Amino acid sequence: MTSSKKKIFLKTIKELKDNDAIEFKFDKEFYELKCHVYEYGDGQINKSYSIGKLGEILGERMNLDKVTDKYLTFYTYNLFNQKSTFKMSINKIEI
């Protein structure tokens, strides 16, 4: 991914609103990164993101933990509360 596309991609992620999503290709698979916004009673707003394969309604999803200019880092917990992480190289993402 070129530097200018990377900046646009990262900016787009930050600007997503509740239930908005961005679609992209990584390692021959298409993915959807979806935004979730939670508003608490005291006015505090929390934004989180999850990723899953495009078109899978009940498929496995992971939560976005960290965004850097090199990686998107995701995590999930299994039934035994074991944490799994995955780093997705931004340079391998196609938009």
CB 22 within 8 A of CB 16: yes
CA 44, chain centre distance (Å)? 21
Per-residue pLDDT at 33: 96
- 4 by DSSP, 3-state: which? helix
**Cα angle 75-84-22, degrees, rounded to a multiple of 5:** 30
The residues spanned by each domain of the chain are: 3-94
- 63 by DSSP, 3-state: which? strand
The phi, psi pair for 55, rounded to 5°, reads: 90, -10
pLDDT in tens, 33-87: 999 999 888 888 899 999 999 988 778 899 999 999 999 999 999 999 999 999 9
pLDDT in tens, 5-26: 889 999 999 999 999 999 999 9
What element of type H or E holds 39? strand 29-39
Per-residue pLDDT at 41: 82
